[in-house]
Structure 1
Amino acid sequence: MPPKPGVIPLGPLRLGDILGGAFSTVGRYGKQLFGIGAAVYGGALAVVAASLAIAYSAVADHLDRILELGSEENPRSEDWVPAAVAFGSVALVGLLALAVSTALMYAAVPAILQEAVLGRPTTFSAVWRRAWARMPAVTGTVLLTWLIAMVPLLLAWAAFIAFVIGMVSMDGDSSPLVMILIGLIGVLATGPLVTWLWVKFSLAPSAVVFENQGPIAALRRSSRLVRGDWWRIFGITLLAGAIAGVTSYLIQLPFSLLGMFSGMLGSMNLGDDPNPASVVVAMSGYILALLLGQLVSQLIVATFPPLVTGLLYVDRRIRTENLGPVLAEAAAVPPQYTA
């Protein structure tokens, strides 16, 4: 029997070992995992909320005039352009905040897993420093993976759009069903390739944190580790995503019900001619419940699948590089971290 100093035995891992190790890591290091997640996504939510409040205060008069017109008259460009720019900026801020938050979680989960595999304690501050130090490399790795995986799909869509433009310019009599069929064939042709590339590079973020690799080196490392075991990694990753998705849905249900009840109570206090500010106040309980449910469920989605992916990385190194004895030796060394 291989030794088991931490959440997994230091030998080739079965499906039960991987899922059990992920759940054990959540149980033993839940404070660090969810503490980092709450800080990251809570901070992102606070940034978006602050930007939304600033945007609303900047264009409140324009919004009032747009709503006063109703559907009888089109709003003037002097009103809808500032509103569009303001809330477009909020969307951009939200996108950037989500990208930074995701990169931090991709870095934090393997940092915690490093200690969990060896059975060593760690602290919030130690994980935060490690994750922050590796965040730029993880961001580059995830961005490169996304770009590489999306290239075939984008090419297929570009060809489809060119085909549609050509048919329109030729005034063809072909049915829209033909265009839909061609677009579907393009997606079906490129979808497997996109999936194959995504799984091929799925272990790269773990390589960035475990081995201090750069983005390109991490992609090459992931490609070598996945080789010969693609289907197994694909299946386990898909299962982990399904478990996280179902758990996330079940978590959001009570928050959604609570929000609907709060929204009904708030709407009862609205007058006959409500203004935007009163509507926001009346629906604040509903919005808050939804945001809280989304935050809690996001913590599950952002931690469990990366934990499984990190354990798959460790498993592949144990199987192909005989990493088990090295980990067993490292587990006997006292941990080096500062509180």
Structure 2
Amino acid sequence: MSNDAGGYGPPPGYGTPAYGAPPAYGPSGYGPPPGYYGPPPGYAPPPPGYPGHPPPGYQPGFGGFTPPPLKPGIIPLRPLTLSDVFNGAFAYVRANPKATLGLTAIVVVVAQLISLLLQVGPIAAVSSVDYAEQSRDMEIAAVLGLALSTTLGALTTVLSAIVLSGLLTVVIGRAVFGADISIGDAWRRVRGRLLALFGIVGIEVLGATLIIGLVIGIIAMVAYIIGGVAAVVLGIPLGLAAIAALFYLGTILLFAPTLAVLERLPVMASIRRSIALVKKDFWRVLGIWLLGQLVAAIIAGAVSIPFSIGGQLFLGTDPSASGTVLALVLLSIGSAIGQIVTAPFTAGVVVLLYADRRIRAEAFDLVLQTGFGIPPYAPSDSTDHLWLTSQTPQR
């Protein structure tokens, strides 16, 4: 703009502008009315799905969206809570009932039939003994036969439980990634690990036997040298200490069978690694494991009550061999149903606790997430190698 002198610049008298508050925009009186401090009474935010409403996962002030954890299968791939462990232990049964309940039913029913047959013969032999006419040797033979058959039946039950836990461990390992597995595939994957499983359980039984034998030996020695009163006084704290030692042994070796199956480790390596995983979070592992056992015991007791009552009634009212056998049949049916219902749950709790310990101690969730993007047409065993120890990043 030119001035009167014919130059360019501000007109005469133009001074330096004073910068202050910016001018008010809008018409006079624009803005909220006096006393306005928020929405009127009764105002409610729009419901989810309303246009303009932030979608789930949006957190203002924290960078916007926080994506939920990956969950390709029965658990989210992050450190697990108690509800995650229990929900996952039930979820894999619902996701693949044939390989869980069906597999459990086959193993448990076969084991119960073998155990029942081993006991029926000796019971009939003992009941037929005429103690007034038969020799002392025949009486002893009948009683020893009953004791031996009972022992063999218990051994059959233990061996079937070991095999079943290995089979269910494979099923759970696949269910973490949302993959199914057939009974045949589970058996083919486990049969090469049976010796390791038997070895681990044998070491556990040996350790428990040594603890119990040591306590009984000390109490017996005190009773022989000092007397019965001293044995009782010493036996109470020793018994409590033995119970605590058994719980400790069972807890630190809890993951050893799972390690032998999923990580395919030998016996001693499985035991050492189980101790290393448990010892840094011992009380949490023990608490969740005991809670899972309590839940399983309540469920098993509830479903087997009718058969237990019936068996006890037959034993009380009919002392003959046929009544005893019928009572054993009813008790075996109740025990089988209880195991079929609860064995998949207890196995799921142990395996998912193991996965949680690896996630917390080794950032194992980052390894598991690499199996999330495997295409649907990939082989069902394409994620099995992720459980191996060599896949875990070292910290």
Q: TM-score range by the shorter chain?
A: 0.7 to 0.9
Match in the other structure for 1:158: 217
Of 94, 101, 107, the residue aligned with 2:166 is 107
Instruction: Map Cα deviations across residues 21-69 of structure 1 (whole Å, 9 max, x no partner).
Output: 1111122223212222222221122222333344467x47x83423xx3
Alignment of structure 1 residues 170-209 onto 2, 5 Å: 176-209=228-261
Of 71, 88, 96, the residue aligned with 1:21 is 88
Q: Does 1:322 align with 2:363?
A: yes
Q: Does 1:289 align with 2:356?
A: no
How far apart, CA to CA, are the structure 1 residues paired with 2:210 and 2:140? 33
How far apart, CA to CA, are the structure 1 residues paired with 2:267 and 2:249? 15
Q: Does 1:238 align with 2:293?
A: no
- Over 3 Å counting, the alpha-carbon distance change for 1:55 and 1:331 in structure 2 is farther
Q: Alignment partner of 1:330: what SS?
A: coil
| Partner AA of 1:159 in structure 2 | I
- Over 3 Å counting, the alpha-carbon distance change for 1:53 and 1:291 in structure 2 is closer
Instruction: Map Cα deviations across residues 42-100 of structure 1 (whole Å, 9 max, x no partner).
Output: 1122222333344467x47x83423xx3xxx9x63132022123223312321321221
| Partner AA of 2:299 in structure 1 | T
Alignment of structure 1 residues 235-314 onto 2, 5 Å: 235-259=287-311, 263=314, 279-282=320-323, 285-314=326-355
Q: Alignment partner of 2:180: what SS?
A: coil
* CA-CA distance at 1:260 after TM superposition: 6.3
Match in the other structure for 2:281: 229
Q: Alignment partner of 1:65: what SS?
A: coil
* CA-CA distance at 1:301 after TM superposition: 4.0
Q: Alignment partner of 1:122: what SS?
A: coil
Q: Alignment partner of 2:200: what SS?
A: helix
| Partner AA of 2:236 in structure 1 | L
| Partner AA of 1:17 in structure 2 | D
Match in the other structure for 1:170: none
| Partner AA of 1:292 in structure 2 | I
Number of residues of Structure 1 aligned to a counterpart in Structure 2: 311
Of 203, 211, 215, the residue aligned with 2:263 is 211
> Structure 1 residues 80-89 or 46-55, which shifts more?
46-55
- Over 3 Å counting, the alpha-carbon distance change for 1:51 and 1:150 in structure 2 is closer
Unaligned runs of 5+ in 1: 168-173, 271-275
* CA-CA distance at 1:257 after TM superposition: 4.3
Tell me, yes or no, if the aligned pair for 1:25 and 1:116 is still in contact at 8 Å: yes
- Over 3 Å counting, the alpha-carbon distance change for 1:94 and 1:283 in structure 2 is closer
In our comparison, the structure showing a higher alpha carbon Rg is 2
Match in the other structure for 1:273: none
- Over 3 Å counting, the alpha-carbon distance change for 1:227 and 1:78 in structure 2 is closer
* CA-CA distance at 1:306 after TM superposition: 2.1
Unaligned runs of 5+ in 2: 1-67, 382-395
Alignment of structure 1 residues 4-153 onto 2, 5 Å: 4-55=71-122, 59=125, 63-66=128-131, 69=132, 76-153=135-212
Q: Alignment partner of 2:130: what SS?
A: helix
Instruction: Map Cα deviations across residues 182-208 of structure 1 (whole Å, 9 max, x no partner).
Output: 111112233323322221111111111
More contact order relative to length (CA 8 Å, sep ≥ 6): 1
Task: State the identity as a percent.
Answer: 27
How far apart, CA to CA, are the structure 1 residues paired with 2:242 and 2:120? 42
How far apart, CA to CA, are the structure 2 residues paired with 1:144 and 1:3? 38
> Scaled by the length of structure 1, what TM-score is found?
0.83
How far apart, CA to CA, are the structure 2 residues paired with 1:95 and 1:286? 17
- Over 3 Å counting, the alpha-carbon distance change for 1:259 and 1:87 in structure 2 is closer
- Over 3 Å counting, the alpha-carbon distance change for 1:81 and 1:257 in structure 2 is closer
- Superposed CA RMSD in Å reads 2.6
